[in-house]
Amino acid sequence: MSDSSSQQPRTAGPATRRPSVGVRVGKIMVGGGAPVVVQSMTNTDTEDPASTAKQIAELARAGSEVVRITVNTPAAAAAVPRIAERLAMMGVDVPIVGDFHYNGHQLLEAEPACAEVLAKYRINPGNVGFGKKKDSQFASIIEKAIQYGKPVRIGANWGSLDQGMVATLMDENAQRPQPWDAGVVAREALIRSALDSAARAEQIGLPRDRIILSCKVSGVQELIAVYRDLATRCDYALHLGLTEAGMGSKGITASAAALAVLLQEGIGDTIRISLTPEPGGSRTQEVIVAQELLQTMGLRAFTPLVTACPGCGRTTSEFFQELAKTVQGHVRAKMPEWRVMYDGVENLTLAVMGCVVNGPGESKHANIGISLPGNGEAPSAPVFIDGEKAMTLRGDRIAEEFVGILDDYVARKYATRTA
Ligand code: SF4
């Protein structure tokens, strides 16, 4: 029997990143060892430059490092340069990716300014065209990418599988002594569709460092299986995302479950969380979830996160929940300004705890922590700064005073950025 106490405990943290070829998307590097990039997609009508530019700006200000827009009609393609002009006037500098289906070859040919302005083209091998026209339409998009010096994401999707590829693999499968099950054949079709298309793009002349791949499915276990396989079969940079993840907590949970497993294994160079917004909800939620996923996994730091206990019968006051919400909201509201002013502020850690059981201990681990009084405890809230008890707050202005302490700390602790 082995002596488990003599074994070295496993260290916490993700596996070494899968090596991939770096691809420059405008000013952003994807893959090649660069930090995992957060991206998002608009849901405005691209033909409307004002609302599309406004939403791109919101997504970029929330932290999206690349933003994709659909380019589906001649009017949408014609609007792309106008969207870029509006963004420049707003002082927003973010790479814009054009999402093309069916008519991308025509739109890129008809609107050279659109082809020029976009930082990347996204095409789906299942939707480039059909029948005999498919190969020539694929080739003409790749030729445009070569002409304009743009990278291309070849994004296969479960919902629009290349039917020619499916038929070929079904025939191959029928010849096997023990045929694979239909799910395995479909996964193989998705992967082969992406890999074969990438190989064809390279034959046409698109360099390897201008190709990103994705193979999106809507099931968590299928996505993990597909990307594990894809990751071992190529060194292209990979875009990760669970397609059609859904709404609210279901979409967030499913995306996080799938992407966390893959990121932990070192797979994935850029991520998008495909959430269906609540009616009237903000599109920026998908950016916040992507950032929080990467940050809570220790892969990147974007914004100070608040550690808060869940609350229990020892703290019946809603004040504790309100304080946690106020502090997280304050930090998010301040971050655009802090990010520009202070170096390293995204690494700040905060704790808002409901009572004395875990409050002081958790507060000491944070840069700033507060432990509110639980039921029956003295009505005082000790504040810890860098592990030491610094002061005690009392009365009905605890929230304002704590936020003031936080602002002072940030100004003192983080060096002012030089331009
Ligand atoms: S810190 Fe206190 S209030 Fe919060 S969950 Fe633990 S025991 Fe409950």
Cβ within 8 Å of residue 220, ≥6 positions away: 242, 254, 257, 258
Q: Which residue has the tokens 């406004």?
A: 54
Q: Is residue 129 over pLDDT 90?
A: no
Atom of ligand 1 nearest to the CA of 358: 1
Q: Which residues of 235-249 are buried (b: 16+ CB within 10 A; e: fewer)?
A: ebbbbbbbbbbbeee
**What is the pLDDT averaged over residues 387-415?**
93
**What is the pLDDT averaged over residues 71-94?**
98
How many angstroms separate the CA atoms of 146 and 80, rounded? 19
Banded pLDDT at 4 (limits 50, 70, 90): low
Is residue 317 within 8 A of residue 327, CB to CB? The reply is no
Site to probe by mutation for ligand 1, drawn from 320, 355, 362 as the one with most ligand atoms within 8 Å of Cβ, is 355
**CA neighbor of 40 nearest in space, from 2, 66, 12, 5:** 66
* DSSP tag of 34: P
Tell whether 234 is in a known binding site.
no
How does pLDDT run across 15-52, given as a tens digit for each residue?
899 999 999 999 999 999 999 999 999 999 999 999 99
Tell whether 312 is in a known binding site.
yes
Give the distance (Å) from ligand 1 centre to CA of residue 326: 19
How does pLDDT run across 214-261, given as a tens digit for each residue?
999 989 999 999 999 999 999 999 999 998 888 889 999 999 999 999
* Phi and psi, residue 166, nearest 5°: -60, -45
How does pLDDT run across 86-107, given as a tens digit for each residue?
999 999 999 999 999 999 999 9
Residue 295: its pLDDT value, please?
Answer: 95
Tell whether 215 is in a known binding site.
no
**What is the pLDDT averaged over residues 109-131?**
93
Residue 357: its pLDDT value, please?
Answer: 87
Give the distance (Å) from ligand 1 centre to CA of residue 288: 26
Give the distance (Å) from ligand 1 centre to CA of residue 320: 10
Q: Is residue 1 over pLDDT 60?
A: no
Q: Which residues of 139-166 are buried (b: 16+ CB within 10 A; e: fewer)?
A: bbbbbbbbeeebbbbbbbbbeebbeebb
How does pLDDT run across 258-292, given as a tens digit for each residue?
999 999 999 999 999 999 988 888 999 999 999 99
Is residue 118 within 8 A of residue 97, CB to CB? The reply is yes
DSSP H helical segments within 90-181, as ranges?
A: 104-110, 112-117, 133-148, 163-175
Atom of ligand 1 nearest to the CA of 355: 2
Cβ within 8 Å of residue 215, ≥6 positions away: 155, 156, 157, 190, 191, 193, 194, 226, 227, 230
